Amino acid sequence: MAAASVAGPPGVMLREIAFAPQLGVRTVPGSASASRIERALGVSLPSSVGETTGDPDALHCVWISPDEFLTIDVSRTQEHGEAGAVAAALDDDRPGAGRVPGQVVDLSGNRAILELTGPSARAVLEKGCHVDLHPRAFPVGHAVSTLVGPVPMIVHRSHGETFRLLPRSSFAQYTVRWLIDAMLEFRTIRA
Protein backbone atom coordinates (compact mmCIF):
# COMPACT_ATOMS: atom_id res chain seq x y z
CA MET A 1 0.00 0.00 0.00
CA ALA A 2 2.80 2.41 0.88
CA ALA A 3 4.54 1.74 -2.45
CA ALA A 4 1.33 2.54 -4.35
CA SER A 5 0.82 5.85 -2.54
CA VAL A 6 1.39 9.06 -4.46
CA ALA A 7 2.61 12.26 -2.78
CA GLY A 8 2.14 15.81 -3.99
CA PRO A 9 -0.80 17.69 -5.54
CA PRO A 10 -2.48 14.65 -7.19
CA GLY A 11 -1.63 12.65 -4.07
CA VAL A 12 -3.47 9.68 -2.67
CA MET A 13 -2.31 7.39 0.11
CA LEU A 14 -3.67 4.05 1.28
CA ARG A 15 -3.05 2.39 4.63
CA GLU A 16 -4.66 -0.12 6.97
CA ILE A 17 -5.69 0.69 10.52
CA ALA A 18 -5.08 -2.69 12.09
CA PHE A 19 -6.63 -4.26 15.17
CA ALA A 20 -8.93 -1.36 16.04
CA PRO A 21 -11.80 -2.37 18.33
CA GLN A 22 -15.17 -2.62 16.59
CA LEU A 23 -18.34 -3.34 18.55
CA GLY A 24 -21.67 -4.14 16.94
CA VAL A 25 -24.57 -2.65 18.86
CA ARG A 26 -28.26 -3.55 18.47
CA THR A 27 -30.72 -1.37 20.37
CA VAL A 28 -33.59 1.02 19.79
CA PRO A 29 -32.37 4.63 19.97
CA GLY A 30 -33.84 6.56 22.88
CA SER A 31 -34.65 3.37 24.82
CA ALA A 32 -33.39 2.43 28.28
CA SER A 33 -30.98 -0.07 26.73
CA ALA A 34 -29.60 2.61 24.37
CA SER A 35 -29.00 4.93 27.33
CA ARG A 36 -27.17 2.20 29.24
CA ILE A 37 -25.03 1.30 26.23
CA GLU A 38 -24.21 4.95 25.51
CA ARG A 39 -23.07 5.45 29.12
CA ALA A 40 -20.95 2.28 29.01
CA LEU A 41 -19.38 3.19 25.66
CA GLY A 42 -18.91 6.88 26.34
CA VAL A 43 -20.38 7.89 22.97
CA SER A 44 -23.93 8.60 21.84
CA LEU A 45 -25.59 6.55 19.12
CA PRO A 46 -26.36 8.23 15.78
CA SER A 47 -30.00 9.04 15.16
CA SER A 48 -30.29 9.02 11.37
CA VAL A 49 -29.05 7.47 8.14
CA GLY A 50 -25.46 8.41 7.36
CA GLU A 51 -24.79 10.02 10.72
CA THR A 52 -21.74 9.34 12.84
CA THR A 53 -21.07 10.46 16.40
CA GLY A 54 -17.95 10.77 18.51
CA ASP A 55 -14.38 11.53 17.49
CA PRO A 56 -13.35 10.19 14.05
CA ASP A 57 -9.75 9.94 15.29
CA ALA A 58 -10.71 7.93 18.37
CA LEU A 59 -14.02 6.37 19.47
CA HIS A 60 -16.90 6.98 17.10
CA CYS A 61 -20.15 5.31 16.15
CA VAL A 62 -21.61 4.69 12.67
CA TRP A 63 -25.32 4.30 11.89
CA ILE A 64 -25.94 0.98 10.08
CA SER A 65 -29.75 0.65 10.32
CA PRO A 66 -32.51 2.01 12.57
CA ASP A 67 -31.46 -0.30 15.43
CA GLU A 68 -27.91 -1.29 14.42
CA PHE A 69 -24.67 0.60 14.99
CA LEU A 70 -20.94 0.01 14.72
CA THR A 71 -18.56 1.61 17.20
CA ILE A 72 -14.94 1.92 16.15
CA ASP A 73 -11.94 3.23 18.07
CA VAL A 74 -9.07 3.92 15.66
CA SER A 75 -6.87 5.39 18.41
CA ARG A 76 -5.99 2.06 20.01
CA THR A 77 -5.92 -1.69 19.56
CA GLN A 78 -8.54 -4.14 20.68
CA GLU A 79 -8.51 -5.47 24.23
CA HIS A 80 -9.91 -8.88 25.06
CA GLY A 81 -13.32 -8.78 26.77
CA GLU A 82 -14.28 -5.17 26.11
CA ALA A 83 -17.54 -6.13 24.35
CA GLY A 84 -18.58 -8.10 27.43
CA ALA A 85 -17.93 -5.11 29.66
CA VAL A 86 -20.24 -2.93 27.56
CA ALA A 87 -22.86 -5.70 27.20
CA ALA A 88 -22.93 -5.98 31.00
CA ALA A 89 -24.60 -2.57 31.04
CA LEU A 90 -27.74 -4.29 29.72
CA ASP A 91 -27.95 -6.23 33.01
CA ASP A 92 -28.63 -4.10 36.05
CA ASP A 93 -28.99 -5.85 39.39
CA ARG A 94 -30.38 -2.80 41.18
CA PRO A 95 -33.90 -3.39 42.51
CA GLY A 96 -36.49 -2.82 39.78
CA ALA A 97 -33.89 -2.16 37.07
CA GLY A 98 -33.48 -5.65 35.54
CA ARG A 99 -32.29 -6.62 32.09
CA VAL A 100 -33.16 -4.52 29.07
CA PRO A 101 -33.18 -5.75 25.45
CA GLY A 102 -30.16 -5.08 23.29
CA GLN A 103 -26.92 -6.62 22.13
CA VAL A 104 -23.22 -5.72 22.08
CA VAL A 105 -20.91 -8.02 20.11
CA ASP A 106 -17.19 -7.83 19.35
CA LEU A 107 -16.85 -7.45 15.57
CA SER A 108 -13.18 -6.42 15.53
CA GLY A 109 -12.19 -9.27 13.20
CA ASN A 110 -15.25 -8.83 11.00
CA ARG A 111 -14.13 -5.82 8.98
CA ALA A 112 -10.80 -4.45 7.84
CA ILE A 113 -10.31 -0.69 8.16
CA LEU A 114 -8.62 0.90 5.16
CA GLU A 115 -7.91 4.62 5.02
CA LEU A 116 -7.68 6.40 1.69
CA THR A 117 -6.47 9.97 2.01
CA GLY A 118 -5.18 12.85 -0.09
CA PRO A 119 -6.42 15.30 -2.72
CA SER A 120 -7.27 12.47 -5.14
CA ALA A 121 -8.91 10.10 -2.63
CA ARG A 122 -12.43 11.02 -3.71
CA ALA A 123 -11.52 10.63 -7.41
CA VAL A 124 -10.16 7.14 -6.73
CA LEU A 125 -13.36 6.09 -4.96
CA GLU A 126 -15.57 7.66 -7.62
CA LYS A 127 -14.24 5.09 -10.10
CA GLY A 128 -16.47 2.48 -8.50
CA CYS A 129 -18.46 3.85 -5.57
CA HIS A 130 -22.23 3.64 -5.86
CA VAL A 131 -23.00 6.85 -3.93
CA ASP A 132 -22.37 10.52 -4.70
CA LEU A 133 -19.19 11.48 -2.83
CA HIS A 134 -19.35 15.20 -3.57
CA PRO A 135 -19.11 17.16 -0.29
CA ARG A 136 -22.65 18.56 -0.80
CA ALA A 137 -24.06 15.00 -0.79
CA PHE A 138 -21.43 13.29 1.37
CA PRO A 139 -20.06 15.74 3.95
CA VAL A 140 -17.36 15.11 6.53
CA GLY A 141 -18.75 12.75 9.18
CA HIS A 142 -21.09 10.95 6.78
CA ALA A 143 -21.01 7.14 6.52
CA VAL A 144 -23.07 4.67 4.49
CA SER A 145 -23.14 1.02 3.52
CA THR A 146 -22.58 0.77 -0.22
CA LEU A 147 -20.49 -0.91 -2.90
CA VAL A 148 -17.00 0.09 -4.01
CA GLY A 149 -16.40 -1.85 -7.16
CA PRO A 150 -18.16 -5.16 -6.49
CA VAL A 151 -17.39 -5.14 -2.74
CA PRO A 152 -20.00 -4.23 -0.10
CA MET A 153 -18.55 -2.03 2.62
CA ILE A 154 -19.04 0.94 4.90
CA VAL A 155 -17.63 4.18 3.49
CA HIS A 156 -16.99 6.90 6.09
CA ARG A 157 -15.73 10.37 5.24
CA SER A 158 -13.78 11.00 8.43
CA HIS A 159 -12.09 14.22 7.23
CA GLY A 160 -12.15 16.44 4.15
CA GLU A 161 -9.74 14.34 2.10
CA THR A 162 -9.93 11.13 4.14
CA PHE A 163 -12.24 8.18 3.59
CA ARG A 164 -12.33 5.09 5.78
CA LEU A 165 -13.42 1.93 4.00
CA LEU A 166 -14.64 -1.04 6.02
CA PRO A 167 -15.02 -4.14 3.84
CA ARG A 168 -15.50 -7.59 5.35
CA SER A 169 -12.09 -9.04 6.19
CA SER A 170 -12.46 -11.70 3.51
CA PHE A 171 -12.68 -8.93 0.87
CA ALA A 172 -9.82 -6.80 2.25
CA GLN A 173 -7.08 -8.05 -0.05
CA TYR A 174 -9.27 -7.70 -3.13
CA THR A 175 -10.31 -4.19 -2.03
CA VAL A 176 -6.67 -3.16 -1.56
CA ARG A 177 -5.79 -4.45 -5.04
CA TRP A 178 -8.81 -2.66 -6.54
CA LEU A 179 -7.82 0.62 -4.86
CA ILE A 180 -4.16 0.31 -5.89
CA ASP A 181 -5.28 -0.20 -9.49
CA ALA A 182 -7.56 2.86 -9.24
CA MET A 183 -4.66 4.89 -7.78
CA LEU A 184 -2.30 4.03 -10.64
CA GLU A 185 -3.57 6.91 -12.79
CA PHE A 186 -2.37 9.44 -10.21
CA ARG A 187 1.13 7.94 -10.11
CA THR A 188 1.27 8.43 -13.89
CA ILE A 189 0.14 12.06 -13.61
CA ARG A 190 3.00 12.81 -11.23
CA ALA A 191 5.72 11.14 -13.35
Structure confidence at residue 95 (pLDDT):
61
User: Which tens digit of pLDDT belongs to each residue from 2-11?
Assistant: 999 998 888 9
Structure confidence at residue 87 (pLDDT):
87
Q: Where are the domains of the chain?
A: 13-17+110-190, 22-106
Question: Residue 160 is which amino acid?
Answer: G
Pick the more confident residue, 191 or 59. 59
Structure confidence at residue 11 (pLDDT):
92
Question: Residue 178 is which amino acid?
Answer: W
Out of 3.40.190.10, 3.40.50.970, 3.30.70.1520, 3.40.1080.10, which CATH number does the structure's domain 22-106 have?
Answer: 3.30.70.1520
Out of 3.40.50.280, 3.30.1360.120, 3.40.50.2300, 3.40.50.1110, which CATH number does the structure's domain 13-17+110-190 have?
Answer: 3.30.1360.120
Do the Cβ atoms of 186 and 124 come closer than 8 Å? yes
Helices (H), 68-166: 82-87, 121-125
The model carries a pTM of 0.92
